[in-house]
Amino acid sequence: MKKTLFTLFVATTITTFAQNTLQSPSAFLGYEIGSQFTRHADVINYFNHIAAASDLVTFQTYGKTNEHRPLTYAIVTSAENQKNIENIRLDHLKNAGIIEGTSTPTIAIVWLSYNVHGNEASSTEAAMQTVYELITKKKDWLQNTVVIIDPCVNPDGRDRYVNWYTQTKATPYNTDQNATEHKEPWPGGRPNHYLFDLNRDWAWATQTESSSRLVVYNKWMPHIHVDFHEQGINEPYYFAPAAEPFHEIITPWQKDFQTQIGKNHAKYFDQQGWLFFTRERFDLLYPSYGDTYPTFMGAIGMTYEQAGHGRAGLGILTDEGFTLTLKDRALHHTTTGLSTLEISSKNALKLNTEFKKFFNNSSLKYKSYILNGEADKIKKLTDLLDTHEIKYGFTNAGKVTGFNFRENKQGSMNATNALVVSTDQPKGKMVKVLFEPDAKLSDPLTYDITAWSIPHAYGLETIASTSLISASDNKKNNPINNIANASGAGYITKWNSMDDAAFLTDLLKNNIRVRFTEKDFSNDGNKFKKGSLIITKSDNIKNKNYDKTLINIANKHTRRLYVASSSFAAKGVDFGSPDIKLINKQKIAVLKGKHTSSLSYGEIWHFFEQQLHYPITSVDTDYFKNIDISTYDVLILPNGGYNGYFDKNTLNKLKKWISKGGKIIAIADGVKPFVNKESFNLKINKPKSKKKDSIGNLIPYEKRERERVKDFITGSIFKTKIDTSHPMAFGYNDTYFSLKLGSNSYKLLQNGYNVAYIQEPTNVAGFSGNDALKALKNSLVFGETRIGNGSAIYLIDNPLFRSFWENGKLFFVNAIFFTNNNKFRL
């Protein structure tokens, strides 16, 4: 017995000693870094080990993914700094004026973000090696540097990729590009659970990974932020400095220090004979990247791109005949990570000095943005501002004058109770970037969209003023507390926002029958516009608890219900009018799979589950042709590449279903299968072609790419006209600002309804090439064509794009529940 206890004691002591003795990643994991991919749980275990074994590291959780994986970060610095870490953080924020007080900090704050794209998986391997080398070989840098390491920004995407690769790869791994281990299936590991690109979500924070991270990011506001990525297998390595265009708020110091960092990296790469490139492809304009967002918050924000991506696996033969291995990829990222920390430590004082200067916003042209509109939309915007810890207030200034966003020129607006967002605050430069009418563009060849203006995205009437408009901190809102009135004919509520839409779907899920009006009317002294919801006693007579359920749901959603003592209208239609229609509890199918854009499908999936809270059935393109589509009321086609998928038999099947009352909603390139097809009434809009010069194209080779920009539209905002009488437009006025992502143009429908359209193209923000602009004359944006008893609905511009274009979402809801509402599902 004593021998057994002694053996157990020794074993426990050895285990405890091993746990508390600092181990390298290879020793801890049992394999060399780069010899296999590490699952996220094992990455977390290693960082927990590091934190337990070293007084230089703390490791914390900042959230959970949709698949319940932890989101984490490590703080790495000297033991002395760890004891004083909160004061270091506060002194840093005081230096920028973000919190009150004065300080003269001397410590550099560097944030390293790894694996934002799940299948760009070498960087998380590098994160483990980087933290180990930092605390064992580079301790001196930590005397004046705090390093924040997020080892995996996208755990769900990473594990999707790693699990697939581990299950698929050959042993030993196969470097042939045609091997199945280099052919990642749809949707790939790049996006998160909802198939969003997290490197496009920093500013919009629609995903839990982004919103959770920003809580910590705003607590630290680092001097340096690096976002580690991977690119195609034939591009060796990219690091700073970035390419044009640079947003105009980026300071000379930010540009110069990027160059200094790049030269430091080049020193190490040249020593090893590793190829790299700089100042190409990756610009600093669109504000929602992991390099631009930090840059616009005062940091030196950078993207580092290693060759590899999800295609490379453990090793692959490049087109030039070199074998690119995971070991090499992880080593390159480790090298640039450590090089960044080295030069940051050497320049800690300068980083603090220049960081403070960045937050002087006195030179900004517009001092205030004044916004008016529906209360729900204002609330959505203030929620976003709260996420970024941007200050705002409300004013009773009366009339304000400045640049009028709706008119795209100087004008004025009544500012009573309007929201005011000022640039006279520490984060004033970010305010400018997010709200400015049109970002200054030095080069049209960009990596992403060139317009995103929040006033248009949220559908708010806005004035940009060169004067500072006074505002108070809070706006008083009257609480909603509806009370049941069983003696009345029913209840009415207005239809203006996504909050109204979520209220509607909650009612439908609770089996409360709801109507909407296609005509304006008045009842009991209140005016109601088209789209207003009507819940009548007569429709819900069999539901004994209907009043109680309705009131509870309305109060939960803070929707004001207007009691109708009678169904007899004071003016306009009565409740029993044919123009007041029951809303069907739609059964919705959404196409997904290899013919669809994973991003577009993800936007739809996220919209229904996280915003509208309404069930859908996702149907894969692998078996869609074999299902009985008659069991669904609505079929949604995401953006995608459907070439050849919708053959003659499939189109005939769809047409028969539509003619019996089905409804298809096609988004962006999801409309292409219906172009020039009988009954679908959709044709491409082609401008008159120019006569080609008979001597041929004499544009030099190096200028060909730039010459093609005349045909491009790179994410620009256009003013469109709206048919407000059509049910798809209920809740909108006669103008809508649409984000157009490409130059595709379709003719106005000849035998249908042009709900949103462009007559003379008015590009209010972003880049549009001259030829592309001409092609938009008399073009469709949103429309409906009737086929028998059903409809085909075309959303040429994607209203759900990245889930940030808030003002487009109600068109989508209207298309589902209001447009051609011709049957009722019991």
pLDDT tens per residue across span 512-554: 999 999 999 999 999 999 999 999 999 999 988 899 999 999 9
CB 657 within 8 A of CB 788: no
Residue environment code for 372-385, b if the CB has 16+ CB neighbours within 10 A, otherwise e: bbbebbbbbbbebb
- The yes-or-no verdict on residue 253 having pLDDT over 50 is yes
CB 764 within 8 A of CB 632: no
Query: How many whole angstroms separate alpha carbon 98 and alpha carbon 107?
Result: 17
Q: From its phi and psi, is residue 490 left (phi > 0), alpha (psi between -120 and 50) or beta?
A: left
C-alpha to C-alpha distances, 823 to 377, 650, 817, nearest whole angstrom: 31, 24, 11
Arithmetic mean of pLDDT over the chain: 94
Average pLDDT, stretch 295-319?
A: 98
User: What tens digit of pLDDT does each residue of 743-800 get?
Assistant: 999 999 999 999 999 999 989 999 999 999 999 999 999 999 999 999 999 999 999 9
pLDDT classification of 18: cutoffs 50, 70, 90: very low
Full-model pTM: 0.95
Query: How many whole angstroms separate alpha carbon 635 and alpha carbon 657?
Result: 10
Query: How many whole angstroms separate alpha carbon 76 and alpha carbon 58?
Result: 7
Residue 694: per-residue pLDDT? 54
Residue 443: per-residue pLDDT? 80
What tokens were used for 511?
Answer: 């089996």
- The yes-or-no verdict on residue 191 having pLDDT over 70 is yes
Query: How many whole angstroms separate alpha carbon 301 and alpha carbon 515?
Result: 51
- The yes-or-no verdict on residue 73 having pLDDT over 90 is yes
Residue 823: per-residue pLDDT? 58
DSSP 330-342: HHHHHHHHHHHHH
Percentage of residues in the chain with pLDDT exceeding 90?
90
User: What tens digit of pLDDT does each residue of 99-137 get?
Assistant: 999 999 999 999 999 999 999 999 999 999 999 999 999
pLDDT classification of 11: cutoffs 50, 70, 90: very low
Query: How many whole angstroms separate alpha carbon 661 and alpha carbon 630?
Result: 9
Q: Which residue has the higher pLDDT, 537 or 3?
A: 537
CB 491 within 8 A of CB 540: no
Q: What is the 3-class SS of 803-820, one letter each residue?
A: HCCHHHHHHHHHHHHCCC
Percentage of residues in the chain with pLDDT exceeding 70?
95
Residue of 392, 390, 381 whose CA lies nearest to 421: 392
Average pLDDT, stretch 703-711?
A: 77
Q: Which residue has the higher pLDDT, 684 or 690?
A: 684
Q: Scanning the structure block, which residue is given the tokens 């990011």?
A: 217
Residue of 747, 730, 733 whose CA lies nearest to 794: 747
612 backbone dihedrals φ, ψ, rounded to 5°: -85, -25
Query: How many whole angstroms separate alpha carbon 225 and alpha carbon 217?
Result: 10
Q: Is 701 exposed, middle or buried (0-12, 13-18, 19+ CB in 10 A)?
A: exposed
Q: Identify the weakest region by mean pLDDT among 1-5, 191-195, 355-359, 704-708.
A: 1-5
- The yes-or-no verdict on residue 148 having pLDDT over 90 is yes
User: What tens digit of pLDDT does each residue of 452-466 get?
Assistant: 999 999 999 999 999
Radius of gyration for the chain, computed over Cα atoms and rounded to the nearest angstrom: 29
Query: How many whole angstroms separate alpha carbon 597 and alpha carbon 299?
Result: 33
CB 256 within 8 A of CB 330: no
